[in-house]
Amino acid sequence: MAERTRTRRDYLVGTGALVGGGLLAGCSGGTDGESTSTTASTTTGTGETSTTSEASDGGPHAVSMAPVGDVTFESVPETWVASNGSWADMAIALGRDAPAALVTPNRYHTEVYEEFDGIDVNADDVTMLWPSGGLDKELFYSVGADVHVIDPNFITSRSEWTRSDIRQIADDVGPFFGNTGFTHAYGWHDGYRYYSLYEEFETLAAVFQQRERYEAFASLHESFLDDVQSRLPAESERPSIGILMTTSAERTTFYPYPMNDGTAYKQYRDLGASSALTAAGIADFSQSGSTIDYEALLDADPDKLFLWGGTGQFERMSRDEFEDSVLAFMTDHETASELTAVQNGDVYRGGGLYQGPIINLVWTERAAWQLYPDEFDRDAELFDRARVESIVSGAF
């Protein structure tokens, strides 16, 4: 075990219980010293109200999120890790540096940042917390994160780690503080609430004491959606879609993702699309573990198809590259060529599962172009890139 001169007990204090057991978020106890603080109450769509106490000087502040509960931070965390690109993108939007590590850095779509001046993050430079050999405690100790923005239930449900392992890292290194919200398909999440993308973003903003940046993004996002949604066609004219992942070089077998309430599908819900997979009764891969072929896909026959790859290969292709490889293969395939989406050339690069506020703006814009080409011109930007850059840089 790596040697440490002190633990995060010195300035991170937490209390709270994991659903189904008493897992401490950090170490329990009070805080010393005084700071000016503000208290904000937020009522969510579920009717629940959460209260966050924020120190205006970056001193002690308490933040709450299910499943861990309350965590008190003696100061703003500096080194941090996260489960996926959703949380990483939120932190970048809040003006933070790149995470020290992610569970899945290969699915963090940092190529999106190439559209913005002043945002320079490369997922290849981010340590993978969950390598092929499994979770390694030594890696957590060596990174030494002040906070782990990871739902502990995600780890205990998908690895050999127990609550005791989580407690050890929380006590010795830094607390866990996160919620799995990219999909609502996991059965183990039934015992506690989900958060919308902007509810997650608001909570992380409280951790990093960046309320103004959060509010600026929330305002930009609201104005963007108001404009886009005002231009959508009537509901009867909106397309059905199929969201699929494939890692097959032959692209004949797919992991189906019916569009549920998770943050991964926010752009499609906001743009009024419906799921042909859901209508056909096809189960989410996250629940069933089953794949589908072109025959099953033909039964659902979505108006438009959105494909993403496990390591982001499709998302990183240009539109021309995608059409020359993926769409061309489907057009030449005996069964795939019968799909409405293939016949109409409506097979597109999807967005993957993980998005925060910056990535969501880009992916929603792209989806608007893809879903409604008669209304949204690909050569016309639908939101202000310069505004995003100014918020991230703090010049607002």
- The DSSP call for residue 284 is P
The pLDDT mean for the chain works out to: 86
Cα angle: 42, vertex 46, 51; to 5 degrees: 25
Look at residue 261 and tell me whether its pLDDT is greater than 90.
Answer: yes
Q: What is the CATH number of domain 232-393?
A: 3.40.50.1980
Lowest mean pLDDT among 32-41, 99-108, 111-120, 323-332: 32-41
Domain spans in the chain, listed from the N-terminal domain onward: 8-209, 232-393
- The answer to whether 87 and 204 have CB atoms below 8 angstroms apart is yes
Across the range 348-353, mean pLDDT stands at 89
Between 54-63, 90-99, 324-333, the lowest mean confidence (pLDDT) is in: 54-63
Q: Which CATH superfamily is domain 8-209 in?
A: Nitrogenase molybdenum iron protein domain (3.40.50.1980)
Average pLDDT over residues 31-45: 36
> What average pLDDT does this structure show over 153-167?
95
Task: Please tell me the distance from the alpha carbon of residue 275 to that of residue 237, in angstroms, as a whole number.
Answer: 14
Whole-angstrom Cα distance, residue 53 to residue 63? 7
Q: Which residues contact 57 (CB under 8 A, 6 or more apart)?
A: 35, 36
Q: How confident is the model at residue 310 (pLDDT cuts 50, 70, 90)?
A: low
Residue ranges of alpha helices (H) inside 150-196 are 152-158, 163-172
- For 177-198, write each residue's pLDDT tens digit: 999 999 999 999 989 999 999 9
Omega of the bond leading into 67 within 30 degrees of 0 (cis): yes
User: 8-209 with 232-393: one CATH topology?
Assistant: yes
Task: Tell which wins on pLDDT, 94 or 322.
Answer: 94
> For helices 197-208 and 211-229, what crossing angle results, to 10°?
160
Q: Which of 271, 283, 234 is nearest to 369 (CA)?
A: 271
**Between the CA of residue 228 and those of 265, 271, 306, 361, 383, what are the distances in Å?**
17, 8, 20, 11, 10
Cβ-Cβ contacts under 8 Å for 359 (sequence gap 6 or more): 85, 89, 109, 112, 351
Q: What burial class does residue 157 get, using C-beta atoms within 10 Å of its C-beta: 0-12 exposed, 13-18 middle, 19+ buried?
A: middle
For residue range 81-136, list pLDDT tens digits in order: 999 999 999 999 999 999 999 998 989 999 999 999 999 999 989 999 998 878 88
Which of 149-158, 192-201, 291-300, 322-331 is least confident? 322-331
Contacts of 205 (CB under 8 A, 6+ apart): 90, 94, 211, 213, 214
Q: In 3-state terms, the chain is what percent helix, strand and coil (to 5)?
A: 40, 15, 45
Q: Write down the pLDDT at residue 134.
A: 85
Backbone angles phi, psi at 30, to 5 degrees: -95, 180
pLDDT score, position 57: 59
Q: Could you read off the pLDDT of 185-231 as tens digits, one per residue?
A: 999 998 999 999 999 999 999 999 999 999 999 999 999 999 999 99
pTM over 0.85, yes/no: yes
